[in-house]
Structure 1
Amino acid sequence: MVGGVAIALAVSGCAGSGGDAGTNTTSAAPPAGPRTLTVWLMNGSAPKTLVEALHKEFQDSHKDVTVKFEEQQWNGIQDKLTTALSGNDAPDIIEVGNTQAPKFASEDVLEDLTASVNDFNGANWLTSLKDSGNWDGKQYGIPFYAANREVLYRKDMFEAAGITTPPTSRAEWLEAITKLKAKYGSDPDFQPLYLPGQNWYALLSFIYDEGGDIAKKDGTKFTATLDSPEAKAGIEFYKQLLEASGTKAPKDADEQTPEQAGIYGGGKVAMMIGLPWEVATAAKSDPTIKDKTSGFPIPSKTAGQTAPVFQGGSNLAIPAKAKNKDLAKDYLKLITSDKYQADFAKAGMIPGTSKDVSALQSDPVNAAMAKASTNGKAVPATPGWATIEAGQNPLKDMLTAYLTGAKTLDAATADANKALNTAFSG
């Protein structure tokens, strides 16, 4: 995974507390005297200055309450949460990746917040994060922040190749690749688009754009649909794009193996499909590349439209065994307020509970992400998804098998469906 977004870690057994712990709330009066609200947020999720201001305001408005902020690391967090949520010393607020949320919600270890949705700016929630925090018709996770991929490109290379405006359709995208080849093709190391064979996040945009999806939902059950005509059309475009680009990226690896931002930073790549903060990673190789880079949303097959995007991010939740649920709800009210959601946007993230992304417009890379974010989607909200990503991801296997010719499209999608359905039912 990249950064603190779209994190999916291995699930190690059931952390259930038994019974209906996730739906019980206490009506008893809160205890008198000093109290401590324990908050677990992930490393890199919120700027230090924002967190400090938030906690000061919360403490100023809650007499005798101290916020105990404990920053967590993504590595190993699944096991740590599993232990904490099943024990008697759970924190009061936790952050979970949107692909982790369904697992915990289904185990009755999170507080049912359905009745409080409106208190947390519910009318402005990002649909993708709302869905990931919902289980069996009840809301357990509150959207925190999100991010999605876009096409990052070299403005100077586009200009030199005679490309005056960013592509706004798939056809224009392919035309841009042709023009870049004509300009720089004499350099054997040049790549118009760096596209590894297993970038399944990018693949999802093409599948969604064709009207397909990974799976269909029936209640809390999912059935894989990668063999649908729409999904197959999206996979075929992925192959067309990869072959048109002449990319030197491996067909049997993802965008992190090797790290694509480093390849882009080498100066021989005109485009990559990535997240905004990958520009900073690329700038470690070439500090000037930040000023040379802009972005545009992944284009749709329909001219003038953007393709739907996979939207990763995080949710906030209250453990079912939290000792200070009343304070935790007040904390969620504050962090989901317009004031702090605007601060998240200023930090370069898509706010989870606000539709105001104006703060992202000053930077062209962030602006492109924000434009695409209105059409964001999530992976199936099933407890099995975390194991799919952390293990042998069937989508990656499918892409490599098809792109290398090891399997036909029909065989590759059928095998991927079988593997996904096994995970969904596990």
Structure 2
Amino acid sequence: MKRKLIAAIGVAGIMVSVAACGSEDGGDKGGKTDASGNKTLTVWVMDGSAPDAWMAEVNKEFEAKNPGVKVKVEKQQWNGIQEKITTALSEDTPPDVLELGNTQTAGFAVTGGLADLTADKAKLGYDGWNKGMLASTELDGKLYSTPWYAANRVVVYDKAAYKKAGISAPKTRDEWIDGLKKLKASDPKSQPIYLPGQSWYVYSGFVWDEGSDLAVKDGDKWKGNLSSPEAVNAVNFYKELASYSTAPKDKDEATPQQSTDIIPKGGVASWIGLGWEAGGAIEAMKKAGKTADFGYFPIPGKTADKPGSVFLGGSNLAVAERSANKELASAWLSLAAGKDFMTKYAAATEGALLPNTDAAQFKPAAGSFAEAMTLAAASGKITPVTPGWANVETAPNPIKDYMTKVLNGEDPKAAGEAADKVINERLNQQ
């Protein structure tokens, strides 16, 4: 799938399934040089991930600190990136630095495609990283990447609908449900919330709120956890929310695309989405001759002291194991992903993306999507950090199928047990 940065809005945070191959100590072999004798450091980033002016400033400072080195940035497209990275990491001259989806980094690391950065923790700023983002950078106690940026979902609501129902942004689940009831009473023909049956990233947050996870480590292996009491509680709450929606039970938020295919038609008081979706909805409504007046709030938690858990979708920066310039590549990471340039990065995207350290966070405008996203990020997490997780997300996604079964009336525990069998096979397949 593709991910696109919308200036001042956000990113989808949906990653391509990727896996690396090949392992050999690259050392510092001298690397590639251009006609002028300069050593070249090649950096692969996805199209739309980094503002051009920001990247140019990073490279200018890096080259000034490292005379005789030139940075070559090569923008990549998400379409086909899995095969391209897999091939690149198995060759003798891979890119030195690569942007990787945060949920897929472990898949590269386990096969030896990424350099071990554990010894560089201090200079990379490890202690200051956002804890929710940090989890995706490590595997088996070793560091294989630096977090770069992330984004998460919030609740988007129609201010006019909320005003008519006499409600405000809720702080707890109970307040949220009470508000949906009032919205239903205020306008029976409208959906209090649009919530497709297979929005599994939203469901994941509810599982984390219960203190559990989608899969857990069992000895040396992983196993699915959807039949656990915590997962059952989570899906039951999801089902309660979905009872206020007429969205398809067997579709996710992208089929149809909720932001551009559903919301502009009207009749929806609230929905859960990413920044780029909010921006897309605003633009689609404008083209339809309508004016969007959205408010935003974090997905409520069980109690008012903290928001509900959310999936932090984003990217990491890693060094190829076969890079001929690993020391230089690590130095580039420490500069680009360091506090100073992450502060500039957050400002350049106007709070659309969450930087890897809270100390670099851009102060978003009051009432903006970015403000709600920043508040929600305090409860951010990622999917289980295991190389096999990419297999779970492969269609048909067993979590999606499980959710549809429950929404259609199947017993949550029985549906969870069936899903766990599929998840177990996928997590532990060789």
With structure 1 as the length reference, what TM-score do the two structures score? 0.91
1:312-391 equivalence runs, <5 A: 312-346=313-347, 347=349, 348-362=352-366, 364-391=368-395
Tell me how far 1:2 sits from its aligned partner: 6.9
Q: What is the deviation of 1:230?
A: 1.1
1:184-223 alpha-carbon deviations (Å, 9 max, x no partner): 22xx3x2110000000011111111122211222576322
1:144 aligned residue:
148
Letter of the structure 1 residue corresponding to residue 146 of structure 2: I
Return closer, same or farther for 1:340/1:290 CA change in 2, 3 Å cut-off. farther
Q: CA deviation at 1:47?
A: 1.8
Cα 1:270–1:3 change in 2 (3 A) is farther
What CA distance in whole angstroms lies between the structure 1 residues aligned with 2:69 and 2:355? Answer: 27
The correspondence of residues 77-88 of structure 1 with structure 2, limited to 5 A, is 77-88=81-92
Within a 5 Å distance, the mapping from 1:247-258 to structure 2 comes to 247-258=245-256
Contact 2:88/2:94 (<8 A) preserved: yes
Q: Could you tell me which residue of structure 1 aligns to residue 171 of structure 2?
A: 168
Give the 5 Å matches for 1:216-255: 216-217=216-217, 221-243=221-243, 245=244, 247-255=245-253
State how far apart, in whole Å, the 1-side matches of 2:199 and 2:399 are. 9
2:13 to 6, 20, 31: 6
Moved more, 332-341 or 281-290: 281-290
Q: Tell me what 2:80 maps to.
A: 76
Deviation digits for residues 308-338 of structure 1 (CA, Å, limit 9, x no counterpart):
1111111100000112212211211111222
Give the 3 Å change call, closer, same or farther, for CA 31–259 of structure 1 in structure 2: closer
**How far did residue 412 of structure 1 move?**
0.8
1:424 equivalent in structure 2: 427
Residue 289 and residue 63 in structure 1: after superposition, are their counterparts in 2 closer, same or farther (change >3 A)? farther
Alignment equivalent of 1:48, drawn from 48, 52, 55: 52
Matched residue, 1:414: 417
Would the alpha carbon gap of residues 61 and 169 (structure 1) be closer, same or farther in structure 2, given more than 3 Å must change? same
State the one-letter code of the partner of 2:327: D
Q: Using the alignment, how far apart are the partners of 1:284 and 1:242 within structure 2?
A: 26
Q: Once the 2 structures are TM-superposed, how far is the Cα of residue 25 of structure 1 from its aligned partner?
A: 6.5
Distance 2:32 2:88 in 1: 22
Report how many residues are paired: 413
Distance 1:337 1:321 in 2: 24
CA 1:46–1:28: 2 relative to 1, 3 Å: closer
Contact 1:154 1:270 in 2 (8 A): yes
Q: Does 1:276 align with 2:275?
A: yes
Is the contact between residue 99 and residue 381 of structure 1 (CA under 8 Å) also seen in structure 2? yes
2-side partners of 1:27 and 1:39: how far apart?
A: 16
Question: What is aligned with 2:7?
Answer: none
Conservation of the 8 A alpha-carbon contact between 2:45 and 2:75? yes
Task: Report the RMSD for the aligned CA atoms in angstroms.
Answer: 2.2
Query: Residue deviations 1:218-237, cap 9 Å, x none?
Result: 57632221111111000000
Q: Over residues 71-95 of structure 1, what are the superposed CA-to-partner deviations in whole Å (9 max), with x where a residue is unaligned?
A: 1111111111000000112001000
Which residue, out of 393, 400, 410, partners 2:404? 400
Give distance in 2, aligned partners of 1:52 and 1:352.
20
- The alpha-carbon deviation at position 97 of structure 1 amounts to 0.2
2:251 alignment partner AA = A
Instruction: Tell me which residue corresponds to 2:64.
Output: 60
Distance change (3 Å), C-alpha of 1:8 and 1:371:
same
Q: After superposition, what is the alpha-carbon deviation per residue over 1:21-80, rounded to whole angstroms, capped at 9, x for unaligned?
A: 3xx463778899411111100122122222222222222332222211111111111111
Structure 1 residue ranges without an equivalent (≥5): none
Contact preservation (8 Å) 1:128, 1:311: yes
How far 1:363 moved relative to its partner? 5.4
Residue equivalent to 2:8: none
SS at match of 1:294: strand
Q: 1:111 aligned to 115, 125, 128, which one?
A: 115
Structure 2 CA distance for aligned equivalents of residues 379 and 315 of structure 1: 15
Displacement of 1:139 in angstroms is: 0.6
2:55 and 2:292 mapped to 1: Cα distance? 29
